[in-house]
Amino acid sequence: MAVTIRDVARRAHVSVATVSRALTSPELVRPETRSRVLAAASDLGYQPNRAARGLITGKTGNIGIVVPDLDNPFFTGVLKAVQARAMQADYAVFVADSDEDPVAEAKLVHAMAKQVDGVVLCAPGLEDSQVYEVAGATSLVLLNRRLPGVPAALMDSAGGMHAIVDHLVALGHSRIAYLNGPRTSWSNQERRRGLLSAVAQHKVDLVDLGPFAPRYEGGLQAADLAVAADTTAIIAYNDIMALGVLARLRDRGISVPGDVSVTGFDDLTYAALCSPALTTVAMPVASAGRTAVNLLLDWLDSDNTDVPHVVLETQLIVRGTTTPPRR
Amino acid sequence: MAVTIRDVARRAHVSVATVSRALTSPELVRPETRSRVLAAASDLGYQPNRAARGLITGKTGNIGIVVPDLDNPFFTGVLKAVQARAMQADYAVFVADSDEDPVAEAKLVHAMAKQVDGVVLCAPGLEDSQVYEVAGATSLVLLNRRLPGVPAALMDSAGGMHAIVDHLVALGHSRIAYLNGPRTSWSNQERRRGLLSAVAQHKVDLVDLGPFAPRYEGGLQAADLAVAADTTAIIAYNDIMALGVLARLRDRGISVPGDVSVTGFDDLTYAALCSPALTTVAMPVASAGRTAVNLLLDWLDSDNTDVPHVVLETQLIVRGTTTPPRR
DNA sequence: CTGGCGCTCGAAAACGTTTACGGTTTTTCT
DNA sequence: AGAAAAACCGTAAACGTTTTCGAGCGCCAG
């Protein structure tokens, strides 16, 4: 049924070895015969069988990506970029969704390991030791998580948080609430780090609340605590929580940004679409995805001597939910 | 490096053939030796090499899914379900994003064809003939598109549209605008079909506008046309357009739902989160994804005699953007 | 006692590639 | 022109499995 390398060889009057060479190392065959086999190959619509190739080369031509939740636009953003970059480099992409379950994350990487040349891992919930453990099974690139010894594509969320605080104090705010996401998540720690550094620098009162579920409902809950603490600005862990905050404040008749300013984090599409549009910081999801596969590809054919950590810039997007405080 | 079937055979004092049998067709070996093999295998942590297996069986144990846009929550919703169901059945999932480009869609299926046992295809933009053409390359299941001869998981969007109209006329509306999406897309045709049937049944005035880009900006543009046409209710092609409509109306000081009712389609997360919350119809994305891979798996080991088309129910979600018209 | 059958298992072929090795031709150098 | 070197290409082994075929064995019927 399928057309094999043998068919091409027959049609081009050469051996299978020559066909293989013409396709994978063109410089090894005479231009004349090379074009002959190329012609034969395209005539027959020949596509090499990747399984057979992988069997002997030991490389699969595939990469994997495991994410905690495919319904989360943040991860699908990186997935989209990963997919695009991989396809460009002639790699195919396996995707796995761990459903936020750390043990599933580890399992999935192991299961993928035999079928891919490497995987990019988004695993905010995994223990460091477990990450190292799965790193033994295949080549890893971490996304948005820094760990000595394993390459990573990072986003400067600390810097983004710093920018938010700078923005808020520039507007004149001096008592600010931060609504924590999950305490153990690397993202929350990073954001908090930027927050604290900025706060120390500016001498503002910080009201540190939470942790809350990083969901709409978490925002609803957190909003009340923040107004009870008498703050003029609320920094939410992420956009979804911020949306919850906005909804709760509106329900209680508290005007945004008139009475209180609110910021999110991530710049998901609806941040721009809600009303008032949300001030937030944009994460470079696409370039992070791209560089993650770049790192992986480099890592694969290199002496694995230095472990690159590249950090991408975030960007504060000022929209409608932040103004100077009413005095 | 990796542990092969030969290592297991040596350790269990049997031949490789017996190991293979013990793992894939247990009833063919004596229970005693079977357990010896199994023990050896798990001792060594043996995992069969899928490439080698695929080379000889002709099956890969993988399925593919190609979607027009991974940033679109609709598609990631089905992707998530597809992934989950496939994993359950011990299949791995390749994903490809065509970036809304029909020729890329066809190319991608062809590229995948050799690496997968079948693919679920979301290709609203592809010509029928092209779909048939790619169906020759591998086993296909269509998602949300009906085509004779190829199995499909469908969503009853016509029914959903009918429900919207029923809802609106029940509220008392009698002059309604429909904002078309892309004319050629199967989805738009289906929705329009349901719309027309409901309209004919109820004798209401239908103002048929567009087509518009199925984006936020398309909604901004469409809103003005709808109010100029003096309608009391606006049915948008999808949620994103509806959000654009809401924004534009608010900017113009037209109150929703006071002055005009608005509906969306798809029930994306932000439909529930915007304010007022959007009346829309929920698409069974998850079960569609699940049944798509069920269909694919069934199709793979069956005589391919009848081509199943299963249609899933949609559901009208009444929220805050629809009320009786002011008179 | 013989022939046939069923059960269990091993030897070996096959899947579609890549690549080490060696043989033949062409080029280059003197 | 002749020899050494280089360029080109074919033969065959190898990758890790599955599967066909048949061998060995015990059992039962005749």
Tell me the per-residue pLDDT of B125-144, one tens digit each, with 9 for 90 and over.
889 999 999 998 899 999 99
pLDDT at A128: 92
In a domain, A53, yes or no: no
Q: Chain B interface, mutation test: which of A50, A60, A70, most B Cβ atoms within 10 Å? A: A70
**Arithmetic mean of pLDDT, A172-187:** 93
In a domain, B305, yes or no: yes
In a domain, B321, yes or no: no
pLDDT at B212: 96
Encode burial over A214-249: b for 16+ CB neighbours within 10 A, e otherwise. Answer: bebebbbbbbebbbeeebbbbbbbbbbbbbbbbbbb
pLDDT of B117 above 80: yes
pLDDT at A153: 97
With an 8 Å Cβ cutoff, are A112 and B94 in contact? no
Provide, in whole angstroms, the distance separating residue B109's CA from nucleotide C2's C1'.
Answer: 62
Same domain, B148 and B77: yes
pLDDT of B326 above 70: yes
Give residue B90's domain range: 62-155+285-309
**Arithmetic mean of pLDDT, A151-179:** 97
With an 8 Å Cβ cutoff, are B83 and A60 in contact? no
pLDDT of A303 above 80: no
Provide, in whole angstroms, the distance separating residue A325's CA from nucleotide C24's C1'.
Answer: 88
Res. B109 pLDDT band, cuts 50 70 90: very high
Tell me the nt nearest to B2, Cα to C1'. Answer: D16
- Residue B142, judged by CB atoms within 10 A of its CB (0-12, 13-18, 19+), counts as buried
Range list of H helices, chain A: 5-12, 16-24, 31-44, 50-57, 73-88, 102-113, 128-135, 157-171, 186-202, 216-228, 239-251, 269-273, 285-300
CA dist., res. A118 & res. A137, Å (int): 9
pLDDT of B210 above 90: no
pLDDT of A263 above 80: yes
Same domain, A31 and A105: no
What is the CATH number for B219? 3.40.50.2300
- Residue A136, judged by CB atoms within 10 A of its CB (0-12, 13-18, 19+), counts as exposed
**Arithmetic mean of pLDDT, A13-21:** 95
Q: How many CB pairs under 8 A join A and B?
A: 111
With an 8 Å Cβ cutoff, are B94 and A93 in contact? yes
**Arithmetic mean of pLDDT, B79-100:** 95
Higher pLDDT, B303 or B315: B315
With an 8 Å Cβ cutoff, are B115 and A97 in contact? no
Same domain, B117 and B257: no
pLDDT at B145: 92
Q: Which of A49, A96, A274 sits opposite B114 (nearest CB)?
A: A49
Same domain, B271 and B183: yes
Q: What percentage of chain A reaches a pLDDT higher than 70?
A: 99
Q: Which of B47, B51, B111 sits opposite A54 (nearest CB)?
A: B51
pLDDT at A1: 64
> B14-28, B86-100, B302-316 — which is least confidently predicted?
B302-316
Number of domains composing chain A: 3
Residues 50-89 of A with CB under 7 A from strand D: 52, 55-56
- Residue B204, judged by CB atoms within 10 A of its CB (0-12, 13-18, 19+), counts as middle
Domain boundary among B266, B283, B300: B283
Same domain, B218 and B275: yes
Same domain, A176 and A192: yes
Query: Taking all residues of chain A, what is their mean pLDDT, rounded to a whole number?
Result: 93
Alpha-carbon gap: A99 to the closest alpha carbon of chain B (Å): 9
In a domain, B57, yes or no: no
Chain B residues whose beta carbon lies within 8 Å of the beta carbon of residue A2: 114
Q: What percentage of chain A reaches a pLDDT higher than 90?
A: 85
Alpha-carbon gap: B87 to the closest alpha carbon of chain A (Å): 8
Report the first-to-last Cα separation within chain B, whole angstroms.
Answer: 79
Alpha-carbon gap: A49 to the closest alpha carbon of chain B (Å): 7
Same domain, A25 and A73: no
Res. B270 pLDDT band, cuts 50 70 90: confident
What is the CATH number for B10? 1.10.260.40
Which chain A residue has the Cα nearest residue B286?
A71
In a domain, A321, yes or no: no
Tell me the per-residue pLDDT of A31-71, one tens digit each, with 9 for 90 and over.
999 999 999 999 999 999 999 999 999 999 999 999 999 99
Provide, in whole angstroms, the distance separating residue B44's CA from nucleotide C14's C1'.
Answer: 27
pLDDT of A260 above 90: yes
CA dist., res. B12 & res. A259, Å (int): 75
In a domain, B319, yes or no: no
In a domain, B228, yes or no: yes
In a domain, A323, yes or no: no
pLDDT of A210 above 90: no
Residues of A at the B interface, defined by Cβ within 8 angstroms? 2, 47, 49-52, 54-55, 60, 62, 69-71, 73, 76-77, 79-80, 83-84, 87, 92-97, 99, 111-112, 114-115, 216, 243, 247, 250, 269-270, 273-275
* DSSP-derived 3-state class of residue A101: coil
pLDDT at B238: 94
Decide the pairing of beta strands B315-317 and B118-121: unpaired
Strand D, nucleotides covered by protein (CB < 7 Å)? 7-12, 14-20
Tell me the per-residue pLDDT of B158-182, one tens digit each, with 9 for 90 and over.
999 999 999 999 999 999 999 999 9
> A103-112, A252-261, B228-237 — which is least confidently predicted?
A103-112
pLDDT of A238 above 70: yes
Same domain, A292 and A276: no
Res. B184 pLDDT band, cuts 50 70 90: confident
pLDDT at B282: 97
Alpha-carbon gap: B91 to the closest alpha carbon of chain A (Å): 11
Tell me the per-residue pLDDT of A126-141, one tens digit each, with 9 for 90 and over.
899 999 999 988 999 9
CA dist., res. B154 & res. B160, Å (int): 13
Res. B273 pLDDT band, cuts 50 70 90: confident
Same domain, A246 and A102: no
pLDDT of B185 above 80: yes
Structure-token pair, residue B193: 């079909």
Same domain, A275 and A162: yes
Residues of B at the A interface, defined by Cβ within 8 angstroms? 2, 47, 49-52, 54-55, 60, 62, 69-71, 73, 76-77, 79-80, 83-84, 87, 92-97, 99, 111-112, 114-115, 216, 243, 247, 250, 269-270, 273-275
Q: Which of A97, A111, A273 sits opposite B80 (nearest CB)?
A: A97
Same domain, A189 and A240: yes
**Arithmetic mean of pLDDT, A197-214:** 94
CA dist., res. B143 & res. B296, Å (int): 11
CA dist., res. B57 & res. B42, Å (int): 24
Cα B96 to its chain centre, rounded Å, is 14
**Arithmetic mean of pLDDT, B286-290:** 97
Same domain, A97 and A187: no
CA dist., res. A193 & res. B174, Å (int): 57
